A = this chain, B = another copy of it.
Amino acid sequence: MPRSGAEARRRLQQAALELYRERGFDQTTTAEIAARAGVNERTFFRHFPDKREVLFDGESDLRAALMQAVAEAPEGLQPLETLLRAFRKVERILEDNRPFAEPRLQVIAATPALRERDLAKAAAITEAVAEALRQRGVTDRLSGLAAQIGWAAFHQAIQAWIDDPSQSLDAHLLHAFDDLRALSATALPAQ
């Protein structure tokens, strides 16, 4: 039996991910996850409200870290500079989670119920980031759009880094922001 709560939590996540890949999300029960992790089902529910949430454990940490990084950015930065700086500050959270990240994204992509949850989590993070920008004095109109496009670039960078680990997440992030600038520069009404 795992000794600490944190250890049980980590083993539950690992067990869930393995089972979702082996038999599919729908065919896996919380009892089976608990059994593979070497804990009982009550322990599962002490850590997670349902079998979807077990794959989204890092999201609240990521959201909190992003909001803090936006709040602490130096004054005078433009909204997207603020966001790029904040994303660079939280790269470490994703890098530490790298072994878990690739199989996790595969399971999510293959499971509609997990995809919906993933979209809801991304929307929640985007709204939190927009709120953090508003608290820095960015207008309602710009804060929402800035959060959406910044998050789109960050998300793109994470996916590219999963697909191509030969470059660092930071390199992919800078590349995605280059793409964002290049694409938007030509977002003019066609003649």
Contacts and interface: CB of A to CB of B under 8 A. Distances in A.
Interface of A: 73-74, 77-85, 88, 115-116, 119-120, 123, 141-142, 144-146, 148-150, 152-153, 155-156, 160, 174, 176-177, 179-181, 183-190
- So how many copies of this chain end up in the complex? 2
Contact of A189 (B84, B123, B180, B185): B84
Per DSSP, are chain A's interface residues mostly helix, strand or loop, or mixed? helix
A169 B187 CA distance: 17
Contact of A84 (B119, B160, B190): B190
A142 to B, nearest CB: 6
Given A156-B144, A179-B141, A149 B184 contact: yes
A113 to B, nearest CB: 10
A150 B152 CA distance: 11
Contact of A123 (B119, B179, B183, B185): B119
9 contacts: A80-B186, A82-B190, A84-B188, A85-B189, A119-B123, A142-B179, A145-B153, A148-B148, A149-B183
